[in-house]
Amino acid sequence: MLRILGRDTSSNVQKVLWAAGELGLEFEREDIGGKFGGNDTPEYLALNPNGYVPTLIDGDYTLWESNAIVRYLAATHGAGTLWPEDARIRGGAERWMDWQIATLSPTMVTVFRGLVRTPPEDRDMARIAAARDRTARLFAMLDAALAGSDFVAGRDFTMGDIPVGIAAYRWYHLDIEREDFRNLERWYRRLAERPAYREHIMKPLA
């Protein structure tokens, strides 16, 4: 059985749980990272020298980097669904996965950590507000991209929806002002109908 190492409050672990749920894969998950610690032990670093969660163990194969794990599970178990066979559709999906890593996540993390993982008296509200504004500009981009399509890579749900779909849940559940992004909200409501999203993503922020 697949083993997923990482606490389920991590958005990066959630990507893998959601993908596994969509694909109907059985797995065991172990709490590592955050308040559980364990991601700096020699045993963990031998599996994942980067020291973050998640790590996937599939038999004698070990893989880390959350989006790489999502791609691997999709390519292995979801060809034609999560993993688009058409190279252009797949390229569109991968583009939003990379954008989440390099652009959305480093911007949004200041808002999320500031409001969810920082005690109120320690919060730098000016910094959080500035990061919220930058995050809103990024969601405006995604909103525009979703104007003509049901999902980020087109008509169908793909692996490309997973990283940004988790960020969208956080966007709609943080205690912040939100612009009216109609396409984004329509897409988010569509994700919220999916059982695996409800099970693994739609939980209190922690």
Partner 1 sequence: MLRILGRATSSNVQKVVWLCEEVGIPYEREDIGGPFGGNDRPEYLALNPNGRVPTLIDGDFVIWESNACVQYLASGHAAGSWYPDDLQARARAVQWMDWSLGSLAPTHVPAFQGLIRTPPAERNPDAIARSRDAWSKLMAMLDAHLADRAYIAGESITMGDMPPAVLSFRWFNLDFEREDYPNAKRWYDTIARRPAFARHVVDIGLA
Site of interaction with partner 1 (CB under 8 A): 49-50, 61, 63-69, 71-72, 75-76, 87-88, 90-92, 94-95, 97-99, 101-103, 105-106, 141, 144-145
In the sheet that holds 27-30, the strands lie side by side as 27-30, 2-5, 55-58, 61-64
User: For partner 1, which is the closer residue by CB, 140 or 202?
Assistant: 140
**Residue 34 CB, nearest approach to partner 1 (Å):** 18
User: For partner 1, which is the closer residue by CB, 133 or 199?
Assistant: 133
**Residue 204 CB, nearest approach to partner 1 (Å):** 26
User: For partner 1, which is the closer residue by CB, 103 or 118?
Assistant: 103
Length of the chain: 206
User: For partner 1, which is the closer residue by CB, 153 or 194?
Assistant: 153
**Residue 184 CB, nearest approach to partner 1 (Å):** 14
At 7 the three-state DSSP class reads coil
**Residue 127 CB, nearest approach to partner 1 (Å):** 18
Neighbour tally for 149: CB within 10 Å: 14
User: Cα separation of 25 and 77, whole Å?
Assistant: 9
- Can you list the positions of beta strands (E) in 6-101? 27-30, 55-58, 61-64
Q: Are 173 and 115 in contact (CB under 8 A)?
A: no
User: For partner 1, which is the closer residue by CB, 101 or 192?
Assistant: 101
Distances (CA, A) of 170 to 30, 131, 176, 205, 206: 23, 14, 10, 7, 10
**Residue 90 CB, nearest approach to partner 1 (Å):** 7
**Residue 73 CB, nearest approach to partner 1 (Å):** 9
User: For partner 1, which is the closer residue by CB, 15 or 194?
Assistant: 15
User: Cα separation of 34 and 88, whole Å?
Assistant: 37
| Burial grade of 155 (CB within 10 A; 0-12, 13-18, 19 or more) | exposed
